[in-house]
Amino acid sequence: MNAEAKKPSVANKLAATRMAGRLVNEYWEMVWRAKEEGKLVCWYEGSAINPFLEAADIVWVHGEAYSAMLAARHQEGPAQQAAEDRGYMKELCSYARTHLGCAVSNQRNRNDADTGLTGIPSDDDIASKLPPPDMIISAYAYCSTGQQWDEMTSRLFGKKIPIFNVSIPWIWASKKDAGYIRGQEWEETSAYVARQLHDMVKFIEERTGKPYPWDRLRELMTNVKRASELRLEAMDMCTATPAPASFFDWVVSIAPINQLPCTTDIVDYFTAVRDEVAERVKNGVGAVPREKYRLFFDGIMNWNKVGWLAEKFARYDAAVVAGRYTHMAFWQEPGLIDASDPVMGMGQNYLICPNNHSSPILIDLIMDLCGKYEVDGMVIHASRTCRAFTNPQFLIADAASKRLGIQTTMFEGDVVDESFYKDELVNSRVEAMLEAIDARRMSAA
DSSP letter string over 22-87? HHHHHHHHHHHHTTTTT--EEEEEES--HHHHHHTT-EEEEHHHHHHHHHHTT--HHHHHHHHHTT
Residue 13 Rama label (left phi>0; alpha psi -120 to 50; beta): beta
Residue 286: φ, ψ to 5°: -110, 160
Binding mask of the shown chain, residues 89 to 118, with x at each position contacting another protein by CB under 8 A: x-xxx--x----------------------
The CB-of-416 to ligand SF4 minimum distance in angstroms stands at 9
User: What, of ligand SF4, another protein, none, does residue 415 touch, CB below 5 to 8 Å by kind?
Assistant: ligand SF4
- Provide the CB-side half-sphere exposure for 196 (13 A, CA): 21
- Should residue 96 be labelled a site residue for ligand SF4 when binding is judged by CB under 6 A? yes
Which part of the chain contacts ligand SF4 (CB under 6 A), choosing from 93-101, 275-283, 419-427, 437-445?
93-101
Nearer to another protein, 8 or 87 (CB): 87
Sole binder of ligand SF4 in the list 41, 386, 396, 404 (CB under 6 A): 386
- Should residue 302 be labelled a site residue for another protein when binding is judged by CB under 8 A? no
Which part of the chain contacts another protein (CB under 8 A), choosing from 11-19, 115-123, 223-231, 386-394?
386-394
CB 301 within 8 A of CB 327: no
Reference 351, options 46, 43, 42; nearest CA is 46
Cα–Cα distance for residue pair 270/281, rounded to 1 Å: 16
Nearer to ligand SF4, 11 or 141 (CB): 141
* Coil vs helix vs strand at 164: strand
The CB-of-381 to another protein minimum distance in angstroms stands at 12
- Should residue 83 be labelled a site residue for ligand SF4 when binding is judged by CB under 6 A? no
Which H helix or E strand runs over 249? helix 247-252
Cα–Cα distance for residue pair 331/342, rounded to 1 Å: 12
- Should residue 382 be labelled a site residue for ligand SF4 when binding is judged by CB under 6 A? no
The CB-of-171 to another protein minimum distance in angstroms stands at 10
Reference 352, options 196, 180, 218; nearest CA is 180
Binding interface with another protein (CB under 8 A): 86-89, 91-93, 96, 138, 142-145, 147-152, 154-155, 159, 163, 165, 167, 169-170, 172, 174, 192, 195-196, 199, 358-359, 382, 384, 387-388, 390-395
Binding interface with ligand SF4 (CB under 6 A): 64, 93, 95-96, 143, 145-146, 149, 386-388, 415
